[in-house]
Structure 1
Amino acid sequence: MKRLLPSLRAKKRYLAFELISEEPASRSDIVKEVMSSASSLLGDVTTSDCDIRVLGFENGKGIIQCSHTKVKQTRASLAALTRINGKRATLHVLGVSGTVKRATEKFLQDEGVFSS
């Protein structure tokens, strides 16, 4: 099977974020709550269109991947997140980038997320 041309692939954006919470949380907790928040705010169909994925999370900071046409909806669903494991928490978006490398360099310097 042939690979898709770059012009035909789904374009993505990467949101660098930091977790502000009463207690530390794991990556699996973040994934569960982000998807729950997106589903309750946007509905299942739009959440599926957003194609939200948590790529990395370490030391309270991480990167979320989403569709380039649904960045506003993804940011709104992250802003709607208020609790993780029953403790007050919020995700603060540090910035949006077109590549993981640039998001890491620009917003997550010295954090260890995706650093080699």
Structure 2
Amino acid sequence: LNRRRRRYLALEIDSDEEFSSEEFMRTIRSAAVRLYGEYGASKMNLYLVTYDAEKGIAILRTTQESIDLTRAALATITEIGGKPAAIHVLRISGTIKTLHKKMGWKQI
């Protein structure tokens, strides 16, 4: 049985508002379900690793096979919790440690 390779996406939340991590993930999951259905969204294995509402950054985990699907789902998001917002992918990496290094972020 092959293990799924994970990828970590550094995200920037472009909005004047702050959102809870639950609200943020609910929006991402619903965008994935709208585009790919329940089965397709479940194959993406989305997981929120880190979320900082004040800085407007997050790290999202997905599978290597689902990177393009995840990016497409994120691109369809225009609001979070009824408030205008956009999500931009800043960087993709195979490990959280390398992602932190590439982004110049301190380890959490």
Q: Which runs of 5+ in 1 are unaligned?
A: none
Secondary structure at the residue paired with 1:23? Answer: coil
Secondary structure at the residue paired with 2:17? Answer: coil
**Structure 2 residue aligned with 1:103:** 99
How far apart, CA to CA, are the structure 2 residues paired with 1:30 and 1:85?
8
**Structure 2 residue aligned with 1:29:** 23
**Structure 1 residue aligned with 2:12:** 18
CA displacement at 1:101 relative to structure 2: 0.7
CA displacement at 1:11 relative to structure 2: 0.7
Q: 1:55 aligns with which of 28, 32, 49?
A: 49
Alignment TM-score, normalising by the size of structure 2: 0.91
Alignment TM-score, normalising by the size of structure 1: 0.85
CA displacement at 1:9 relative to structure 2: 2.1
The reply to whether residue 82 of structure 1 matches residue 78 of structure 2 is yes
RMSD: 1.4
Detail structure 1 runs of 4+ shifted over 3 Å in the superposition: none
The reply to whether residue 65 of structure 1 matches residue 65 of structure 2 is no
* Identical-pair percentage: 33
How far apart, CA to CA, are the structure 1 residues paired with 2:34 and 2:51?
23
More divergent stretch after superposition (22-31 vs 66-75): 22-31
- Deviation track 1:28-51 (CA, whole Å, cap 9, x = no partner) reads 111111101111112111111111
